[in-house]
Amino acid sequence: MKYFTFILFIPLTLLFTFCSCDEPEASPEVQLMETDPFIQNQKLTRSINLGNILEAPNEGDWGLTLEESYFSTIAEAGFTAVRLPVRWSAHAANEAPFTLDSEFVARVDWAIDQALENNLSVVVNTHHFTEMMEAPEENLPKLLGIWGQLANHFQSRPDDVIIELFNEPNDQFTADLWNDYLVQLIDTVRAIDSERTLMIGTAPWGGIDGLDNLRLPSDSNLIVTVHYYNPFQFTHQGAEWSEGADAWLGTSWGQTNNDYTNLMADFNRVKTWSVEHNRPIYVGEFGAYHKAEITYRILWTQAVVRACEDRDLSWGYWEFASGFGAFDRSAGEWTALLTALIQN
């Protein structure tokens, strides 16, 4: 110990005479850690969709606008993230370079800020780009132009902001086209932002059957998302936009062992795919419409949440406060669905 004490008090000028004056040793090379999409997916463990708001043709058209209190309400209830469905296509010019409306972009920024300030991670997607479903080849340049702008705009955001490239390809936007186009979308983003975690879904309609059609790109920083609305006659009974849905009114769930067996089999398929392909899975939408009996909605929701969490799948309930909603805006409180979603 005396030796080291002596050295510490040697004048700096003497120290320099004792040191070699050869070239200094090179600093050790800094190894940048790649973003782990499995860790990123854990941030989405319990999330909820702020649906029917920013993906409406214009905010408020479907009876909902974003409020600052929503974000603290969601965080305090025990959720870890929000998914922001956004209809970017309605707020972009129709000619190249497809410039996005700055006021609308600022509105989405505000929502992201509110989420982050409440320690909520965020999934931002492209939602209801209906023209892509009808004429995908014709509208692909617009989709690429939108994501080119957004990749640049979001580049400085923390990694708690995750980009979902497209919601539920369907109709003329086939699985084959989706496999081709998602490579172009990823390349567009990666040319600007090489580190952002990206999310890709399945075709058609984001369902679990689409996993068999998905051709995975080589990009390693990807989360795969699926949506779950099985059995459809239960979850969409009475849905005004679904043809024949009134005939399904009164459909129950959870009254037979087969209901649970079928649900567990579905999620076993999803988990098996995840393991075989070494990709994290986010069940980004699931929910039962409010016209189903609340008792059965609770049973089904509990079962889906448990199936996800038992298999290390993150999840996002559809949705906060509209037709599938878990929050009653008029009463200013959560419905009984909250206990089905946040199972401590």
Confidence of residue 267 (pLDDT cuts 50, 70, 90): very high
Q: What is the mean pLDDT of residues 105-113?
A: 98
Q: List the domain boundaries for the chain.
A: 35-341
**In this prediction, what percent of the chain has a pLDDT beyond 90?**
89
Predicted local distance difference test score (pLDDT) of residue 206:
98
More confident residue, 42 or 21: 42
Per-residue pLDDT, 25: 40
- Average pLDDT (278-287) is 98
* 104: nearest Cα among 57, 35, 141, 62: 57
* Mean pLDDT to the nearest integer, 149-170: 98
pLDDT of residue 183 exceeding 60, the answer is: yes
As a whole number, mean pLDDT of residues 4-28 equals 34
Q: Which fold has domain 35-341?
A: TIM Barrel (3.20.20)
Is 70 exceeded by the pLDDT of residue 43? yes
Structure confidence at residue 35 as a pLDDT band (50, 70, 90): confident
Place of tokens 């970017």: 88
The reported pLDDT for the residue numbered 19 is 34
Residue 177 CA to residue 140 CA, distance in Å, equals: 10
Q: Give the per-residue pLDDT at 197.
A: 98
Residue 167 in tokens: 């919601």
3-state secondary structure of 244: coil
Name the pLDDT band for 20 (thresholds 50, 70, 90): very low
Q: What is the pLDDT of residue 3?
A: 34
Amino acid at site 273: W
Q: Cα(232)–Cα(248) distance, rounded to whole angstroms?
A: 9
pLDDT score recorded for residue 31: 34
Work out whether strand 314-317 and strand 46-49 pair parallel, antiparallel, or are unpaired: parallel
Digit-coded pLDDT (tens) for 121-153: 999 999 999 999 999 999 999 999 999 999 999
Question: Three-state DSSP class for 137?
Answer: helix
Question: For the chain, what's the residue count?
Answer: 344
pLDDT at 213 over 80: yes
Q: Given this model, what pLDDT does residue 10 score?
A: 31
Residue 85: cis peptide before it, omega within 30 degrees of 0: no
Give CA separation, 77 vs 47, 184, 326, 339, in Å.
11, 38, 11, 10
3-state SS, 263-313, equals: HHHHHHHHHHHHHHHCCCEEEEEECCCCCCCHHHHHHHHHHHHHHHHHCCC
Q: What percent of the chain has pLDDT over 70?
A: 90
Q: Which two tokens stand for residue 220?
A: 């390693």
- How many angstroms separate the Cα of 241 from the Cα of each of 149, 238, 301, 309, 323? 33, 9, 22, 31, 12
